[in-house]
Structure 1
Amino acid sequence: MNAGGVAPQGTKGRGSVKARDTRNSRAARNGDEKPDLPGVWRAYGALLQYLRKRSGMNQQQLGDAIGYSLQQVASVEQGRRPAKAAFTVAADRVLNADGALEALQDEVDRAKLPRFFRNFALFEAEAVSRFSYDPLLVPGLLQTEAYARALFAGHCPPLSEEIIDQHTEARLSRQKLLSRMPLAELSFIIGEEALRNPVGDRELMREQWQHLLDVGALRNVEIQVMPAACGFHSGLNGPFVVLETGEHQHLGYIESQEVGCVVHDPAEVSAFGLRYGKLRSQALNSTESARLIERLVGET
């Protein structure tokens, strides 16, 4: 865009799209503006309204039947607010929807994610294997609700409470991958600094450490800790993910400062795989890692 805000001749359409994307991105970050609402929220709302009217109920009656207010039902029907899983389960049952609303819930939740992450989330949900290195924070798939909420609450610029709630719900929804059938093979290497960084108070961190021990006991999950005193290693360039889809396509993912990039190039993804293999050999093994985390729990 030019300084005067007018698109150059012949690029008006592209300029309008760029301006709209910029507004939406800013709105998604700080909640001060209302971005274009996700299409799946509007589609869910339209379906909910159809099912409600088919059942001969008004919004107040539906709200009373499922334990939500008239305003909440109206907001969901208008696509202004995403339905939570409990809302969907109750509405599906009361409206005899035969699972039609529940079938949309994963997409509704995915649209709560930050815009830059949604493309990768589609691949992640269907992954048969996922390996990640996270040096500074506990990875999202392993976060407790309190830890995730603390991270979003500390966002700069500040997020609205509504956006914090939505991002937290979406992050927790992603954790279905831990137990989804068929089981995915999941490996996490976490920097020791990430474990010792006090994102919240001691009780929050104790709960997070204990959660890591519980998830690490799952037979499809391996958690390793990269010691702080390890010296040079191939993960110093930053966090990354290597993922295999159900079609056995290998992908990489990198992210920094709310910019995410899905990597498709086979040579680059292969390099990620080589680095991850090297990191696994340098990190503590799963048993040693669990002992380190147990020591952290015991220090509280």
Structure 2
Amino acid sequence: MSVDEAGTAHGNDGADEPGWEVDPDDESGAAVVASVGRQLKAWREAAGMRAGEFGAAIGYGEDLVYKVEGGRRIPRPEFLDKADKALGAGGKLAMFKKEMAEVRYPKKVRDLARMEARAVEISVFSCHGVHGLLQTEEHARVLLEARQPAYSQDEVERGVSARIGRRSVFEREPAPTLSFVQEEASLRRPIGGRAALRNQLQRLLDVGRLRNVSLQVMPLSCETHPGIGSDIEVLKFGDGSAVGRSGGAFNGRPVSDPKQLRILELRYGMIRAQALTPRESLAFIEQVLGET
């Protein structure tokens, strides 16, 4: 029995599960969910099935069916797969799984993920914590739960899903060139406890050993460098365009002007030069892991 079917058997069909609510402030995302809901309803009615009958056929409650069809609930991938099969849609409903997965992300994260998915080169300096692309699920969850004012559990789950979803950048073919510089302090703060820190350090080692990834550590022994106090991120695309952002430049807004990008690239280049080499950095992370 699946998790969803088990939930139905116990009077909980997943309708209240965090992370699948529609964000009312995300107009574009809500419109996509509403469109898919209308298509589900049209297929159900064309099949001559009532909402309760349809829900029973796919292992979900009638209330959840109405919420999905009304655009008030993001359908899970399993929901779409079962609906497609039950209604004989031939893949026309299951094909929306990718769009529904993306809609779970906050809009600004969706935009960032789309840019990362297009980039052929990504360069990142993270001065305060482990960069989102490098975080474990546990690390991301603890950070989001610590936010103030406190996020709702639904917002936490959507945020975790977004960060984990962005990892697909490591699986792309052809692989982009990825460069990360992390401050040593971010490797030592036990976010979520010692066991969680060990998992996070192992994640850094796994990523740092990928052939298309350069991972460097900025040691605390480096007294000063151009990135103190502000992150830097530069994304370059196949058509020669680029976009960059830094909290310490241009009021933190994204920039694409070549002159402004050169400033960010100059700072990033100096940061890399002052950091440990990739080989030294992996050895350093292994040392910290052994001490943790």
- TMscore range, shorter length: 0.7 to 0.9
1:75, distance to aligned residue in structure 2 (A):
2.9
Three-state SS of the structure 1 residue aligned to 2:124 is strand
Q: Distance in 2 between matches of 1:254 and 1:45?
A: 39
Q: Which of 155, 163, 168 does residue 163 from structure 1 map onto?
A: 155
Contact 2:118 2:237 in 1 (8 A): yes
Q: Deviations over 1:139-191 (max 9, x none)?
A: 11111111111111111111111111111112111111111222111111111
1:52, distance to aligned residue in structure 2 (A):
3.8
Matched, 1:296 2:292: no
Inter-CA distance 275–104: structure 2 relative to 1 (3 Å threshold): farther
Q: Which of 231, 252, 270 does residue 278 from structure 1 map onto?
A: 270
Query: Residue in 1 aligned with 2:178?
Result: 186
Q: Which of 108, 113, 116 does residue 100 from structure 2 map onto?
A: 108
Which has the larger displacement, 188-197 or 118-127?
118-127
Q: Alignment identity in percent? A: 38
Contact 1:55 1:95 in 2 (8 A): yes
1:58, distance to aligned residue in structure 2 (A):
4.4
1:276, distance to aligned residue in structure 2 (A):
1.4
Q: Distance in 1 between matches of 2:196 and 2:236?
A: 33
TM-score for both structures, normalised by structure 1: 0.78
Three-state SS of the structure 1 residue aligned to 2:198 is helix
1:189-200 correspondence to structure 2 within 5 Å? 189-200=181-192
RMSD: 2.8
1:129, distance to aligned residue in structure 2 (A):
1.2
Which has the larger displacement, 104-113 or 143-152?
104-113
Contact 2:109 2:162 in 1 (8 A): no
Which has the larger displacement, 34-43 or 191-200?
34-43
1:64, distance to aligned residue in structure 2 (A):
4.8
Contact 1:120 1:253 in 2 (8 A): no
Contact 2:106 2:162 in 1 (8 A): no
Amino acid in structure 2 at the alignment position of 1:245: F
Inter-CA distance 176–73: structure 2 relative to 1 (3 Å threshold): farther
Contact 2:246 2:253 in 1 (8 A): yes
Q: Deviations over 1:13-63 (max 9, x none)?
A: xxxxxxxxxxxxxxxxxx9x9435522222232233334444554444554
1:246, distance to aligned residue in structure 2 (A):
3.3
Q: Distance in 2 between matches of 1:58 and 1:47?
A: 15
1:291, distance to aligned residue in structure 2 (A):
1.5
Q: Distance in 2 between matches of 1:81 and 1:105?
A: 14
Three-state SS of the structure 2 residue aligned to 1:263 is coil
1:254, distance to aligned residue in structure 2 (A):
3.5
Q: Distance in 1 between matches of 2:267 and 2:26?
A: 39
Amino acid in structure 1 at the alignment position of 2:127: P
Query: Residue in 2 aligned with 1:172?
Result: 164
1:85, distance to aligned residue in structure 2 (A):
4.1
Amino acid in structure 2 at the alignment position of 1:227: P
Amino acid in structure 1 at the alignment position of 2:224: F
Q: Distance in 2 between matches of 1:90 and 1:260?
A: 45
Three-state SS of the structure 1 residue aligned to 2:238 is coil
Matched, 1:147 2:153: no
1:261, distance to aligned residue in structure 2 (A):
3.0
TM-score for both structures, normalised by structure 2: 0.79
Q: Which of 207, 219, 237 does residue 215 from structure 1 map onto?
A: 207
Matched residues, number: 267
Three-state SS of the structure 1 residue aligned to 2:161 is helix
Which has the larger displacement, 54-63 or 287-296?
54-63
Q: Which of 59, 63, 70 does residue 78 from structure 1 map onto?
A: 70
Contact 2:121 2:236 in 1 (8 A): yes
Q: Deviations over 1:70-99 (max 9, x none)?
A: 444433332223234444455455555455
Inter-CA distance 92–143: structure 2 relative to 1 (3 Å threshold): farther
Q: Distance in 2 between matches of 1:182 and 1:103?
A: 24
Query: Residue in 1 aligned with 2:25?
Result: 35
Point out where structure 2 has 5 or more consecutive residues left out of the alignment: 1-20
Three-state SS of the structure 2 residue aligned to 1:128 is strand
Amino acid in structure 1 at the alignment position of 2:171: S
Three-state SS of the structure 2 residue aligned to 1:262 is coil
Inter-CA distance 288–164: structure 2 relative to 1 (3 Å threshold): same
Contact 1:117 1:260 in 2 (8 A): no
